[in-house]
């Protein structure tokens, strides 16, 4: 069967260019798309078709910008914004799709569009560059480049994933491109799993219960969960994130510190495991995130958590040393394990930023340790897959603390690269990437 050539009108191309340009100024990008499409009266089937192209371009953005840099010799970020947006659309259409002859002619006509929007010289520049775009063929001469083009990841990221999981790298990259179903954790302070499942059945929503976290449900159909969230009966949470609180296992009556707590999902889960008995100090630096956390804690009926707006590194001076039975440090990280939930993150990641993140993680870990009583336990976790942020940080910490003992974790996921630690992998476990290390302070 012959595939239909992509046909686009001038108006549709203008709408796409404007949406891409606005996407740099307005977040989220869907708001930019809606505004541009409305201005160009893109409706009905047109809307569906152009929305697909727009989001495809967003997923490929880093790769498209690499092509621009290859063709023009400079970073696209220093080009005129209208030229940058037009080149991005032209490459999406000409390189990644199969444009009809009429669409190819319309791409040439964008030189006049650019001349009117900016300056005739910009139009001339685009006109001279377009033949090279229309003829562009990538050189895919290594396995890393093939994976980059097939799965749309920066090449350095592909290299790191191959270093981590070897022959499984392609399965991992594929899993990061798949949409995860929405996951909710039932809040036992206000409801039960049976009640929430009964509600979903009444609404004819298909779901499955997690085999690893008994209170976690995955929705297999689109559904507005606002009622369940507003009532505090459930909270949005990925399985791997819910496992963190179960691993730390705080008990009723204990004192717990959550060092990077917002938006509050793990804080609320720990309060539930403690049956609202004891005390949780929940730290975060961001006021907007703390506001959201307070709303979540109120809705879920948490009475034992005190939110504190401060850097977690200051927690020992604020609370005092040796006051906590348990400490959760779900550390700030590159968040690369969440790419399936945040696809645009792939092009924002920078390898050069990893050492800065690691430095912060180490400082927070030192503060967390000061908070612990002898015999207390600290969970260090991240939603990163990079070993520098995980086994690297924990190995460094254990070398510097003779009174620290790694408590071996044997499930529900796989052992990490440091024996006793644990990792959730997107391709093996169908959840976000996550790391866990449980450390006990010796002595009593």
Asked if pLDDT for residue 31 goes beyond 90, the answer is no
Q: Specify the range with the lowest mean pLDDT, choosing from 190-204, 241-255, 335-349.
A: 335-349
Asked if pLDDT for residue 12 goes beyond 80, the answer is yes
Of 61, 354, 383, 422, catalytic: 383
What the block records as the tokens of 212 is 């690893």
Spatial separation of the C-alpha atoms in residues 20 and 17, rounded to whole Å: 5
Q: How confident is the model at residue 27 (pLDDT cuts 50, 70, 90)?
A: confident
What the block records as the tokens of 43 is 């409706």
Structure confidence at residue 193 (pLDDT) = 98
pLDDT tens readout for residues 70-93: 999 999 999 999 999 999 999 999
Spatial separation of the C-alpha atoms in residues 416 and 366, rounded to whole Å: 22
Asked if pLDDT for residue 194 goes beyond 80, the answer is yes
Burial of residue 335 (number of CB atoms within 10 Å: 0-12, 13-18, 19+): buried
Structure confidence at residue 2 (pLDDT) = 40
Provide the CB-side half-sphere exposure for 426 (13 A, CA).
26
Asked if pLDDT for residue 3 goes beyond 60, the answer is no
Structure confidence at residue 29 (pLDDT) = 79
Structure confidence at residue 444 (pLDDT) = 64
- Torsion of Cα atoms, 307 then 313 then 316 then 322, to 10°: 100
DSSP 372-422: EEEEEEEEEEES---GGGTHHHHHHHHHH-TTEEEE----SSEE-SSTT-E
Average pLDDT over residues 159-163: 96
Please check whether residue 42 is in contact with residue 15, taking contact to mean a CB–CB distance below 8 angstroms: yes
Asked if pLDDT for residue 389 goes beyond 90, the answer is yes
What the block records as the tokens of 81 is 């914004």
Spatial separation of the C-alpha atoms in residues 209 and 62, rounded to whole Å: 37
Average pLDDT over residues 340-359: 92
Average pLDDT over residues 280-292: 95
* More confident of the two residues 55 and 405: 405
pLDDT tens readout for residues 209-247: 999 999 999 999 999 999 999 999 999 999 999 999 999
Average pLDDT over residues 186-199: 97
Structure confidence at residue 361 (pLDDT) = 98
Asked if 333 is an active-site residue, the reply is no
Q: How confident is the model at residue 1 (pLDDT cuts 50, 70, 90)?
A: very low
What the block records as the tokens of 425 is 């992998």
Average pLDDT over residues 180-197: 97
What the block records as the tokens of 155 is 């090449």
Beta strands in 243-300 (DSSP E): 255-258, 279-284
Provide the CB-side half-sphere exposure for 31 (13 A, CA).
5
Average pLDDT over residues 296-320: 97
pTM, rounded to two decimals: 0.89
For all residues of the chain together, what is the average pLDDT? Answer: 95
Burial of residue 219 (number of CB atoms within 10 Å: 0-12, 13-18, 19+): middle
Spatial separation of the C-alpha atoms in residues 101 and 278, rounded to whole Å: 70
**Domains by residue range for the chain, with CATH:** 10-134 (1.10.940.10), 143-176 (no CATH), 183-236 (3.30.70.1170), 240-441 (3.40.50.150)
């Amino acid at each position: 069967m012959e595939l239909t050539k992509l046909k686009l009108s001038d108006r549709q191309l203008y709408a796409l260019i404007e949406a891409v340009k606005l996407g740099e100024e307005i977040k989220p990008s869907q708001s930019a798309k809606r505004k541009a499409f409305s201005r160009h009266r893109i409706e009905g089937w047109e809307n569906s078709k152009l929305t697909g192209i727009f989001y495809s371009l967003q997923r490929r953005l880093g790769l498209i910008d690499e092509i621009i840099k290859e063709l023009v010799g400079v970073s696209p970020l220093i080009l005129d914004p209208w030229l940058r947006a037009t080149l991005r659309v032209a490459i999406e259409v000409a390189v990644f799709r199969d444009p009809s002859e009429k669409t190819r002619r319309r791409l040439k006509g964008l030189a006049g569009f650019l001349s009117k929007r900016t300056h005739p010289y910009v139009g001339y520049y685009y006109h001279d560059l377009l033949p090279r775009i229309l003829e562009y063929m990538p050189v895919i001469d290594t396995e890393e480049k093939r994976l980059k083009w097939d799965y749309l990841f920066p090449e350095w990221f592909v290299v790191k994933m191959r270093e981590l999981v070897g022959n499984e790298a392609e399965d991992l990259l594929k899993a990061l491109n798949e949409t995860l179903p929405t996951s909710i954790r039932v809040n036992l302070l206000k409801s039960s799993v049976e009640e929430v499942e009964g509600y979903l059945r009444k609404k004819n929503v298909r779901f499955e219960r997690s085999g690893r976290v008994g209170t976690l449900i995955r929705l297999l159909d689109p559904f507005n969960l606002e009622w369940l969230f507003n009532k505090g009966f459930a909270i949005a949470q990925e399985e791997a994130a819910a496992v963190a609180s179960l691993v730390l296992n705080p008990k009723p009556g204990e004192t717990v510190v959550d060092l990077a707590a917002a938006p509050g999902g793990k804080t609320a889960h720990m309060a539930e495991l403690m049956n609202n008995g004891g005390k949780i100090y929940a730290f975060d630096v961001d006021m907007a995130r703390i506001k959201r956390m307070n709303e979540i804690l109120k809705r879920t009926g948490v009475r034992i958590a005190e939110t504190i707006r401060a850097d977690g590194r200051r927690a020992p001076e604020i609370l005092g040393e040796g006051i906590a039975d348990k400490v959760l440090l779900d550390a700030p990280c590159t968040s690369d394990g969440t790419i399936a939930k945040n696809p645009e993150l792939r092009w924002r990641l920078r390898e050069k930023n990893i050492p800065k993140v690691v430095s912060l993680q180490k400082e927070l870990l030192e503060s967390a340790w000061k908070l612990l009583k002898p015999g207390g336990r600290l969970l260090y976790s991240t939603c990163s897959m990079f070993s520098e942020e995980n086994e690297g940080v924990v190995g460094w910490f254990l070398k510097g603390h003779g009174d620290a003992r790694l408590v071996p974790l044997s499930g529900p996921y796989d052992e990490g690269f440091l024996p006793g630690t644990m990792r959730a992998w997107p391709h093996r476990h169908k959840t976000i990437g996550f790391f866990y290390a449980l450390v006990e302070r010796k002595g009593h």
